[in-house]
Amino acid sequence: MFLKKQKKNKPFFTVITVVKNDEDNISKTMNSIAAQSFKGYEYIVIDGFSKDKTVAKVIKKKKKINTILKEKDKGLYDAMNKGLKLSNGEVIVFVNSGDILTKKALSIVHKKFKNRDIDFVFGTVKRHYTKKTILKYGYNPKRILYNFDFATSHSTGFFIKKKSFLKIGKFNLKYKCSADYDLYYKAIVKFKMKGDQTLKNQLIGEVSAGGFSSKFSFYEHLFEETSIRLDNKQNIFFVIIIFINSVIKNFLKKLY
């Protein structure tokens, strides 16, 4: 299934939602996009051939959606690549099923891009975990060099110009749980792109508990992110040091 309608004017943002079998959460995500105070965006929904009532709920909102694609894919990042290919906006953001944008999110980030010559913006997000909630904010480009837990945001709070995204390349399907980490690493280290951040009190979005990344263990993430560093030619001895440091930190966290 493929439904597409053009906007009269070229959108500044493309908001992409990837979903599969999530009838309980897709509506709140779509509603948060429709409620945006800034209207210069297009909305794309990519469904991985859901078997529940997800598509029916998406169709009910079709007047608020520019493109709907329903077809089988090779996983989350393949679906995200499909959304990127269909996009027409200057700036891309992924808000996957279960997550939301705050009402003024696009308005806040639009001002960031208009006021500075930058490639991407990390927006403040409220990240819900099973037992706690954390406010993730700020942007320190040096941190990615020595810390696996780099991301101060989440895909819901990460906005990047399409031309910058295409310079980096699509999400690498070799990585099953950390292809977004590969994107960050290439943008900051390999291509030395310029980024900015929203203020701590400028909440851009909320990330629900039990999302895609939570399906993978700490060590699955760690080994894949180690592979990403090595594939991107970071010094192997330095990678070993931060790998050991991450294992120790995780052990101490569980101990206390």
Mean confidence (pLDDT) of the chain: 91
48: exposed, middle or buried (Cβ count in 10 Å: 0-12, 13-18, 19+)? buried
**DSSP element (H, E) containing 30:** helix 26-34
Domain 2-173+195-210 CATH assignment equals 3.90.550.10: yes
Q: What pLDDT, on the 0 to 100 scale, is given for residue 255? A: 75
Q: What pLDDT, on the 0 to 100 scale, is given for residue 137? A: 87
Q: How confident is the model at residue 216 (pLDDT cuts 50, 70, 90)?
A: confident
Antiparallel, parallel or unpaired: β 124-128 and 133-136: antiparallel
In the chain, pLDDT over 70 holds for what percent of residues?
Answer: 94
122: exposed, middle or buried (Cβ count in 10 Å: 0-12, 13-18, 19+)? buried
What CA–CA distance (Å, rounded) separates 55 from 69?
A: 10
158-180: average pLDDT: 95
9-36: average pLDDT: 96
List beta partners, residue 68. Answer: 3, 45
Task: Say whether 135 sits in a helix, a strand or coil.
Answer: strand
Q: Are 20 and 45 in contact (CB under 8 A)?
A: no
Angstrom CA distances, 28 to 59, 97, 235, stand at 14, 8, 44
Q: What pLDDT, on the 0 to 100 scale, is given for residue 211? A: 67
Q: What pLDDT, on the 0 to 100 scale, is given for residue 60? A: 95
Q: Are 40 and 12 in contact (CB under 8 A)?
A: yes
Nearest C-alpha neighbor of 213 from the set 185, 236, 181: 181
Q: Is the model's pTM score more than 0.85?
A: yes
Q: How confident is the model at residue 256 (pLDDT cuts 50, 70, 90)?
A: low
Q: How confident is the model at residue 53 (pLDDT cuts 50, 70, 90)?
A: very high
Domains in the chain: boundaries: 2-173+195-210
